[in-house]
Structures are given as structure tokens and as C-alpha cells.
Copies of this chain bind each other. A is one copy, B any other.
Amino acid sequence: MTTDRPGVLASVRDDFPRWYQDVLEKAELADNGPVRGTMVIRPYAYAIWERMQAEVDARIKAAGAENVYLPLFIPQSYLEREAEHVEGFSPELAVVTHAGGKELTEPVVVRPTSETVFGEVMAKWVQSHRDLPLLLNQWANVVRWELRPRLFLRTSEFLWQEGHTAHASREDAAAYARRIHLGVYRDFLQEVLAIPALVGVKTRRERFAGAIDTLTCEAMMGDGKALQMATSHELGQNFARAFGITYSDADGVEQTCWTTSWGSSTRMMGGLIMSHGDDRGLQVPPRIAPIQVVVLAVKDDPDVAAATARIAAALTEAGVRVRVDERTNQGFGRRATDWELKGVPVRIEVGPRDVAAGTVTVVRRDRREKAVVAADGVVAAIVETLSALQVEFAASARRRLDERIVDVETLSDARAAAATGFARIPWSVLGEDGERELNEGAVTVRCLQTPDGRIPSGSDAGELVAIVGRSY
């Protein structure tokens, strides 16, 4: 504990896992629920999640998909329909055996995903080629029993969206999966969360069960580890065959659909925290921040209160999300520290001297730099600062990624690099044997991409690069 830090948090460098736990608690983001592995999402974190949902949802709708709601409960027999599916999930399932005061004839499973129910309804809703593409999405809670829970990253219940689509051709399915992956996920992560995302495909070993290709967005956290932020799967005709999703084509001939699925979850909250946080707490990029600016009244004073209200109104008018903090019965330092913990990007301090001088003090959360600004120029200054901050958040995350990713040519160099970040190694050098060897040391291939960082297409197969690292 140095005097430079308020001493409430472990430091990012010394103990990242402890720091993460501290931020969750001190910034009032999340608590453990009463049942092991479950989570209470507190108001401030939930407000961030609501903004994440709105941003991702708008992009999903722009890609033409419609939202539905499918039931929480799934008959156990459904999960046996697709063998690979059960294989992947059964130890994670929560099973309801009693309901309505008695034992059920057939136990029901709490959805680990709604995939099987999507299969059912898609088979019903797709009849003709005119029904294609069928583009569906769902926002819901899902349950996968977790023995080593970690809030936001791995919880027994989490919130997510899962999209499921059916197409007439493999090309159309592949193009749509890429459209979602780049236009929804990567765009949201980079533009809104200011998190640079490496895109690529998973290896056969890491691929989703039943998928012919899994696209992923991988981000580097503050400790150099990887977090998988979203995945999009091309399911080929495997899923459609298991559920009988067929259509009659223009000639009346029955054809099997090509399907995709894709998802992102409250895990992105964990990614946000671990991407931008520092020793003083969370840092929220302006575009996702529920509170972009907090206006702090330094003292209980009518002129200060009037100035505070005037500034807040002017900022709100300009479309800035503002919170006024007039809790002058609490210490100013404590309140300032609290807002830093919560990562509000900009703080405006208004005291009697500021009012007298016709100024305010503007403090950027990232650098903790104070600037005295004329009160009548504060709106323009804030709007400019927020827009600059958004760019700088992204640049700073990109800088860390660039600094901690190295090109290597051997497995041992890859392993060494993964201790502090990522390694880039030619897939022709690594291969499936090398991948297995790295796995033994908890280093995994995060994705395969083209040398210039694109999602590979069939023709790129010869010269792929593997991104390897440790992961959450």
C-alpha cells in the first residue's frame, strides 16, 4: 500500500485475481448469490450490461435477425437427440425432478443453451425456400453448473444472447456467420468497449461440438491472458439434420438447411473490467458508460448547488450521461475515490471558489489530470474530452496487445511468450501435435488467422498463423 493508492484494492501487477475480486466488491459491481456459483449483478454493473445489450441488440437487428423467447425448461429427451450436444453438456446440467408438488414423470433440464428448442421451432417455421434465411436471436439466462465459479467469467447462471439462423446454402450461412462476427461482435468490442479483438477460427480441438467452423473474438486482459469474448459457429448441415430443418426449394424438392449459431454473454463484463481497470479501480470507456460525467458539489452551498444543477442540465441537453453527487455530508475525498473506483471517465468538481471564479475543475479518470475550465465552456470541453477518451482507451488497449504479442518460431518460445501475453506462431510449425503439447502447460491456441489478421477462408489454409496464450 503506497500513499499514491487509496489502499482499497490489490494492485493490478501484484495480484490480478485479487484485484479483480476487489474491484467487483468495492465498485459495487457484483456479489455471490446464495446458491454456489450464482451471481447478484448490482445496479451499476447492470446499467453497463443494459448498455451492452442495447448496443449488441441494435447490431443484431441491423443484420436482420429477430428476437424470440424460448422456454427455460427442456425435456431431458431433447438433449439426447443430438449426441455431440449431450456429450458437451451433461455434467453441467441442472435438473428439475419435482414440480407442482410432485415428482415429474420426465425430469426437465434448465437450459444450458436453447439450441435444441431452436432446432425444434426452426424445423417447424422453415417450410419453403421463401422462409429462408430464418434469422433468430434470444436474450436469456442459461445455466451450466460451475465448480470453480468466478463472477462474470464463469458462473453457474449467466445472461447471454444466442443467435440461430437457417440458410439455403453453405455460402449464405458462412457469409452470415462472418457478418455477425465482424459486424456485431468485433465492431461492438472495438468501437464501444474499446477492446481490440483478434479474430480467427478455432482449431479442430477448440471448435464447438457439432460446428464445421467456429469464429472467435479473442481479447487480451490486463494480465496478458486471453478472454474469449464471443463466438460464431458454422454448423454445416449437422444441426439441421439432427432436427429435421428442411425446406422445399423452388422446384419443390426437399433440401436440408445450413445453420449458424453465435453468442456473447455477461462474460463481456469481466472482459471490460479486466481490459481497462487500473490500481484505482474500474475504467469505463465513455460510449458504454452509464455515467459519463459525475458532477461533484464540493460543499453544501446554494451557489454551488445552483452551478452544479446548471452544468448537469447543460450536459444532459448535449446528450451527455451525467450524475450529480451532492452528498456533501460525506467527505469529498471519499466521494472522489468512489467515483474513481466506479471508473466514471470524467469528474467535474464544483466548489465555492470555482463558482466565484466562474470556473470548474475537470478531472480525467485515466490520468487523474486536473484542468480548470471556464464554466461557460464546460460542455464543449467535456464533449471533446469524452470523444478523445474513447479513442485513447482503444489505443491504450491496442498498445498493450501489441507490446505483449510476439512472433515466435518454436514451441518453447511460444510457451515463454504465453507467460506474459500471446505468441504468434505459424500453424505449419505448431500443428495439432504442437497444440496438444502446449495444452499440457495450460497454453491454448486462441485462434488461427491469416498473417494479416483476417478470418481465414478456405484458400488461406496454407499459411495460417496460430495465436497462442493462457486463457480464462
Q: Which residues of A contact B (CB under 8 A)?
A: 31, 33-35, 38-43, 46-47, 49-50, 66-75, 78, 90-101, 107-108, 110, 117, 120-121, 124, 130, 136, 140-141, 143, 145, 147, 156-157, 159, 327, 329-330
Contact = CB atoms under 8 A, between A and B. Distances in A.
B71 A157 contact: yes
11 contacts: A35-B75, A35-B108, A39-B71, A40-B68, A40-B117, A91-B100, A92-B100, A94-B108, A95-B98, A100-B145, A100-B147
B69 A159 contact: yes
Given A40-B71, A46-B66, A71-B157, 6 more contacts: A35-B75, A47-B66, A72-B157, A94-B99, A94-B100, A130-B329
**Complex copy number for this chain:** 2
B94 A67 contact: no
A91 B40 CA distance: 26
A159 B42 CA distance: 20
A98 B76 CA distance: 13
A72 B38 contact: yes
A73 B147 contact: no
B91 A68 contact: no
A98 B94 contact: yes
Contacts of A74: 34-35
A68 B96 contact: no
A107 B103 CA distance: 13
Contacts of A330: 130
Contacts of A35: 71, 73-75, 108
A136 B117 CA distance: 32
Nearest to A49: B69
A73 B38 contact: yes
A330 B130 CA distance: 10
Contact of A46 (B49, B69, B92, B107): B69
Contact of A31 (B100, B121, B156): B121
A327 B124 CA distance: 21
Contact of A136 (B39, B43, B73, B92): B43
Nearest to A327: B130
Nearest to A95: B98
A34 B117 contact: yes
Contact of A141 (B72, B97, B130): B72
Contacts of A31: 121, 124
Contacts of A94: 73, 96, 98-100, 108
A47 B34 contact: no
A159 B138 CA distance: 13
Nearest to A116: B34
Nearest to A38: B71
